[in-house]
Amino acid sequence: MARGGNLAAWSAADVAKAISFATDWLGVYVEEVNALNVYPVPDGDTGTNMHLTMQSVRRQLTDAQPSDMPGVAHALAYGSLLGARGNSGVILSQVLKGFSEAIREAGRLTGADLAEALVAGSEAAYAAVMKPVEGTILTVVREAAEAAEQRFTTGDGEADAEAARQEPPALPQREAKRAPAGESLHMRRQLGVLPRQDDGADAADVTPLDLLRTAYEAGQASLARTPDLLPILKQAGVVDAGGHGFLRIVEGIIAYFEGLPLPPPPKVERRAQQQFDEEEFGFCTEFLLADVEVPTQEIRELVAPYGDSLLVVGAEGFVKGHIHTEEPEKLLAEVSRFGRMVRSKVEDMSEQHSEILADVDAAAAEPPRTAAVAVANGYGVTRAFRSLGVRVVGGGQTDNPSVQDIADAVRSVGADDVIVMPNNKNIIMAAERVGDLVEGKRVRVLPTRTLGQGLAAAVLFQENADADELFAEMEAAARGSLTLEVTRASRDVVLDGVSVREGDAIGLVDGTLATSARGYVDVLMELLADRAAEYEIATLFYAPDVGEEGAEAVVERIAAAHPDLEVEVHPGAPDLYPFLMVLE
């Protein structure tokens, strides 16, 4: 089917389809971007985090199916905020937030509209960062946006781009006039936010695609200068990973309108992280709160003393936070009092760096015979899957990944045989469609209905085992496990013979409602009462608001009631669940 072309203006459908295609385009280059990542720490996940953020936008566009520009704008802002991962992903979400606010009132997106939206995206990103650093994605986005804006002041951004090449830019001090909220783009131009047509290039002669090409070329020049602005990049001999990832997204939008197919993934010959010795980098800690009623600034001030690389942003009652800290558990416990913890993630950046070095050493080895992909959330659960050699797709209850999200993960593994564990009954159907999208691999879905079944199966995973034999063994392990989940009722209901009031703690056994009570610990103990004797090992994951001391108290209570049950305890339960327990 023909795509795009050099249209005079883009419709809402054009923008939505281009963003979705650009997500796939970035997916091709994830490892290339990861290989450049040395700032703020060399943990090699910038490409992955930016792609996860874009996948969340694509999922929102797919689910909402917006028919007009306000709907597309909402999907860009809302999807990117909810799905933002890592430092680069949160900054990217703010670029998309500013961009979306600028296009919201446009019926169709002209070149002039696009220029304004790019500038708004840059300004939003700078505003979100407490201590902006030049030579990063911020610089690349800003200089690309400025070149686009200059098309309407000089008709050609080359002179200003050349001036910028001669002298590193200072932090932007933009004082452009702002139209009142809700004013149309036409009114904004009347107020002077964008020049009138007779001030420079004729706006009717500059298509959105022409404009984006200008921004892309300026962005490439800016990216090439990032090592001159950030010494660690020059030391490593690379350009900024976040800026490179942003330009891959822009490149993907251009490719969509030019009708280009997705290219093959480039071969990564070198990883910049190899140049850095193993050391302690702390923990990359993220949280997403819902139902927040206090100002975002109050949460930002609370979090700031815990570490660096701080980003705290909010919209529509949600607050997203990112920080590098040595005290992740304490931080998450503190912020959880400001709202409902929807999602949290903690990753040991020192461990990530060590894994990259190990991967480099193994790059020349034969690819594995079999790979495993699992859908999971909760940083402790995710870490457990990864420690067992399983590739993880973020998602779960109320946050189902798309077929394309799972397919991207399947494509990213080296093995020809791939076992997929959906770990939720609502995701099984999507997982079963992945084989239709992925060529050259045999995809087998192990229909795990809970995270506990997936973890029990993953314990047996071996990448060099025969896929058929391995599948049978993992299937048996999943069937032999029992998953106990404790969460909160969101409404009054009578289900499976259990009467529940909104706000009650409820307990599920393999996904089926089994009991309810006023306290989470009481529910967990009730679930165990008639079941613990049949099993030998229990693995307990707890949420940040339970805390380490609270978890220890629970374990003591379990030991007293069930002395023969061996209990392993880990922080990082799935989102929305104070406790997850796997019995084996």
CA atoms within 13 A on the CB side of 171: 8
Q: How many Å apart are CA 561 and CA 94, to the nearest integer?
A: 50
CA 255 to chain centroid, in Å, comes to 23
pLDDT confidence of residue 146:
96
pLDDT confidence of residue 26:
95
CATH class of 366-479: alpha beta
Q: Where are the domains of the chain?
A: 12-166+206-258, 283-351, 366-479, 482-583
Q: How many Å apart are CA 79 and CA 89, to the nearest integer?
A: 12
243 φ, ψ (degrees, to nearest 5): -65, -40
Write the pLDDT tens digit of every residue in 181-212.
Answer: 333 333 344 344 444 333 444 555 789 999 99
Architecture category of domain 283-351 in CATH: 2-Layer Sandwich (3.30)
Amino acid at 29: Y
- Global model pTM greater than 0.85: no
The three-state secondary structure class of 207 is coil
- Give the pairing type, strands 505-509 and 482-488: antiparallel
Question: Tokens representing 447?
Answer: 């229909």
Q: How many Å apart are CA 260 and CA 266, to the nearest integer?
A: 17
pLDDT confidence of residue 182:
37
Burial classification of residue 502, based on how many CB atoms lie within 10 Å of its CB (0-12 exposed, 13-18 middle, 19 or more buried): exposed
Question: Tokens representing 221?
Answer: 């020049």
* Helix residue spans in 268-371 (DSSP H): 296-303, 328-335, 349-362
Identify whether 40 is preceded by a cis peptide bond (ω within 30 of 0).
Answer: yes
Q: How many Å apart are CA 403 and CA 59, to the nearest integer?
A: 10
Q: How many Å apart are CA 557 and CA 306, to the nearest integer?
A: 32
Fold of 12-166+206-258: 1.25.40
Q: How many Å apart are CA 519 and CA 487, to the nearest integer?
A: 10
**Buried b / exposed e across 420-446, counting CB within 10 Å, b at 16+?**
bbbbbeebbebbbebbeebeebebbbb
Question: Tokens representing 542?
Answer: 């707890």
Site of tokens 């609270």: 550
| DSSP β-bridge partners for residue 348 | 283
Residues of the chain with pLDDT under 50: 1, 155-201, 276-280, 350, 352-364
CA distances from 517 to 258, 479, 487, 545 (A): 59, 28, 11, 18
Q: How many Å apart are CA 288 and CA 296, to the nearest integer?
A: 12
The three-state secondary structure class of 286 is strand
Question: Tokens representing 198?
Answer: 């007779």
Q: How many Å apart are CA 118 and CA 45, to the nearest integer?
A: 25
Residue range 482-583, CATH number = 3.30.1180.10
pLDDT confidence of residue 153:
65
CA distances from 178 to 98, 153, 181, 377 (A): 13, 18, 9, 40
From the CB of residue 154, how many other CB atoms can be counted at a distance below 10 Å? 14
pLDDT confidence of residue 29:
93
Question: Tokens representing 332?
Answer: 């998450």
Q: How many Å apart are CA 179 and CA 80, to the nearest integer?
A: 25
